[in-house]
C-alpha cells in the first residue's frame, strides 16, 4: 500500500496501525481519499512566504474566509499582511501536518475503524 506522507511521525504509526486493521478494500479507499485531500506543508509554506500577503496559502488550505480576510487586509493595510505571512510561513508546515492528521482520522472514522 501507499505510505502516508505529510503526517507527524508520532501519529503516523498509530494511523498506519488503524489503516492496517481495515479490510483491504477499505484500505484502498482510505489511501485514495487521503491522497486526494492532503496538503503539502512545503507548498503551503512557500505560498505563505511569497504570496501570503494576498492570502494565497489560506485558499490553498481550503480556508476561503481567511483568504478573503487577507485580501481585504492587504488592500486596507498594505504591508501588515505581508509581514504577518512571513512570520506565519515558519508555522504553516506544522499546522498543515496537523490538518493532514485530522483528515486521516476523519476518513478512518467514516470507514468505520
CA dihedral 84, 86, 88, 90 (to 10 degrees): -160
- Report the run of H or E that residue 68 belongs to, with start and end: helix 64-77
Residue 100 in domain: yes
Give this prediction's pTM. 0.82
Residue 64 in domain: yes
Residue 27 in domain: no
Domains held by the chain: number: 1
The band of 113, judged by pLDDT with boundaries at 50, 70 and 90, is: low
Residue 81 in domain: yes
Residue 99 in domain: yes
Is the dihedral angle over the CA atoms 55, 56, 60, 65 positive or is it negative? positive
Residue 21 in domain: no
For 41-86, what is each residue's pLDDT tens digit? Answer: 999 999 999 999 999 999 999 999 999 999 999 999 888 889 999 9
Domain holding 44, by residue range, is 40-113
For 1-34, what is each residue's pLDDT tens digit? Answer: 455 555 556 567 788 888 888 999 999 999 999 9
Residue 66 in domain: yes
Residue 97 in domain: yes
Amino acid at each position: 500500500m501507499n505510505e502516508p506522507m505529510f503526517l507527524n511521525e508520532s501519529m503516523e504509526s498509530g494511523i498506519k496501525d488503524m489503516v492496517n486493521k481495515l479490510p483491504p478494500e477499505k484500505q484502498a479507499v482510505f489511501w485514495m481519499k487521503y491522497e486526494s485531500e492532503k496538503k503539502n506543508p512545503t507548498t503551503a509554506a512557500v505560498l505563505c512566504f511569497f504570496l501570503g500577503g494576498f492570502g494565497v496559502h489560506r485558499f490553498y488550505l481550503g480556508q476561503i474566509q481567511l483568504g478573503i480576510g487577507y485580501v481585504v487586509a492587504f488592500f486596507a493595510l498594505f504591508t501588515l499582511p505581508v509581514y504577518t505571512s512571513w512570520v506565519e510561513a515558519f508555522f504553516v508546515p506544522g499546522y498543515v501536518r496537523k490538518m493532514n492528521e485530522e483528515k486521516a482520522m476523519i476518513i478512518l472514522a467514516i470507514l468505520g475503524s
